Structure 1
Amino acid sequence: MTQDFNLLIESYFQSIMDSSDLVPLPIALVDENLTQFWENQYLKDRYPFLCSKDNVISMMKGYDLSSVILAMRTQDASFSCPSRLPMVNTVLTFSPLYDDAHVWIGAAVHFSVSSSELFPSDTNLSQKMLQNFNIALRDPLGSIFSGISTMARRLEVEDIVSCETLLQQLNQHCYHMLKSCSILSEYTAYSNGLAERNLKLISLNPYLEDLFKHLQMVVRCVGIQLSFHLPSEQIDLNLDPDKLVIVLTCLLSNSIAFADPDAELKTIHIEVSVSKRSVRFVVSDNGLGIQSDVLPHVFEPYFTSSREDLHFSHLGLGLTVCKMIVNHHDGDISIFSSEKGTSVSFTISRSLQSEYPGELTFCDNPVEYITNSYSPMYIYLSDVCEWSAI
């Protein structure tokens, strides 16, 4: 934020922040560009998926934003705009805010979240979602049933070798279904305000070094060279380790899936840096990149742009869930892509507080991710890595 805007916050917004934090209603503040810069505690706790700087702008898709801004500049009155998120109906009520000279400086936004829906009311989106379900869940099930029947016939003639191959294929299909169910559960929890952060205070550098070394071994089996760089500063950070692994493995899965088949060396690099307010992760690859017409839509729920030669299709929720998790950690996420590769940058706030402040947790999750075949690492990389069933 600029110094002038910080002064505006102190002069005109601070009292609203203080009073709104005591109200059991989801309230946010936006600046004159409709950029969301503050949320009250109720909104953070109940609806973390609504906490991001571009949240109001994205929810106003389909509206003429310049007309909305003009209305708030010229009309000293509150007004409401219905917006529809998948699985949640939301109405935004804007209350314009002015300075002493009656110049519009922003607005308080109240989110009225109605009863949740299983399917979006938009017909095209509903059809797309059902199509994704059909491909992601029904097709693997069909292969599983077919494989079981084939194995049963071959076991009658003791054809063990071909049965082992079929068993491996069934195992991969089961993992794919498990991933689809897991990511749908994550999305449903966030969309309905039910997601929880299991914050643990961990020593970041040794935890990440252990985790990344395990991930190096995993992605090496698909011909990817993973490198990483950690900050020299040793810090303790409150975060949910399982949620962090979901974000990282989703991003790695995308990088592996869209690796350039003609590249002599396929690489992924994870850069971790520290600032006063946050820890930043940048996951970069030298893959095929994301087309310019696709890039604006990658965080939209149920949007997918899969390669035709991949074994599995997706629900289109991976990056959506990544954004929800990052927002739940008071961070932000962005993507830059070109024909030379893709970089995804996300942050985790250093101001998050655990239920057990000051109590450093020995976090053995990296070891568990390798030893537990149902850990988030195995599940979220199952589309691009083969896990043995034997």
Structure 2
Amino acid sequence: MTDPITPVLSANWADERAWKINNYERTGGYAALRRALRMAPDEIVAEVKDSGLRGRGGAGFPTGMKWSFIPKDNPNPKYLVVNADESEPGTCKDIPLMMASPHTLVEGVIISSYAIGASHAFIYVRGEVLHVARRLQQAVAEAYSAGYAGKNILGSGYDLEVTVHSGAGAYICGEETALLDSLEGRRGQPRLRPPFPAVAGLYASPTVINNVESIASVPPIIANGPEWFASMGTEKSKGMTLYSLSGHVARPGQVEAPLGITLRELLELTGGMREGHQLKFWTPGGSSTPILTDEHLDIPLDYEGMAGAGTMLGTKALQCFDETTSVVRSTLRWIEFYKHESCGKCTPCREGSWWLVQILMRIEAGEGREGDIEKMLDLCENIGGRSFCALADGAVACLTSAIKYFREEFEQGFHTPAWELFPYERSALFAAPARTATTGAHA
């Protein structure tokens, strides 16, 4: 472990008008691009491989290896697609990055496109965040004006078109193949694989799809060298990353630190839980990752540490809940989200998530029945791993882990409403809901 705080991607966030190209260049911006254009594309791929950079969107797949899967003998054009469709509940790292310093991403896009031989790059941004889309469009326009994008970039002979594309508002489009369908103008639904995007992605051509933070990490790697990047983090989880703290914490926000830091350390850096309260449970990577408890405060927040604890690092969205929070209520809200956002293509996901919501609503209202917990676990077993994409897996992960650690709370739902056990007005996360007298369902 190196220093507890490593501001690299976030180093200029507090600067005056950091999103303007002149201010970005003043702090060394686009110097990495100039160096990259003097290198062979394969050398860039090799440096990214040597750095140990792993995908920051959740899966943690080695970025350089992903780039190397692009077939060189394919006559079709090659594309880079940046997945900026951030919409995982609790995840809030990519949007602040794009708002504060969009040129960090744009420079990464140009270097990465050059490395894989792409002549067209797309940044697929969530449609609801119109302010982010406008800032990205402005940054891309500035890059064109400065000669960093377009024809004959910096006299190198390399041409690249960069397009900012706004999605139509669907969580499922965060899944890479559903994103490709949406980008092509079709309904966003996951594709059956193989073929994989590296072989037949956008417009049936070789395509690399990477998360915003993954691509934004490329310029500092090229500027400082792979050894510099690999010196941070742990043996198998290299580099720095953005952790997002939210919930019942004293100071929520983003903290950039080396992989392998613990939640205890992050809480100490940010003032801990809200005054007078204790941590009850938390998500390491957003709502689609199995929850953990205060017993896991000292487990390294890296890919291996989280896997060892039976969960995933995911997007490093650390939602922290204190003792005032009902696990049943939180899980119900998460499952409602996945039910609503299911694209409907797979029967287990479409129907199973609906039934989970019905049972959880009964339990929340204190009207649970004997066997409901076993029925939910059986449903989870028939949902997870039986769909085209990982949405179903994420949907059941929060529930199965909640039952694992807090089964007694679900059992209390057989006779006592959750809002009596945990009055919602005590929790800063939830407004007091209106309830009907008959079922306890929310109006």
- Larger strand proportion, structure 1 or 2? 1
TM-score range, shorter chain: under 0.3
Q: TM-score, normalization: structure 2?
A: 0.24
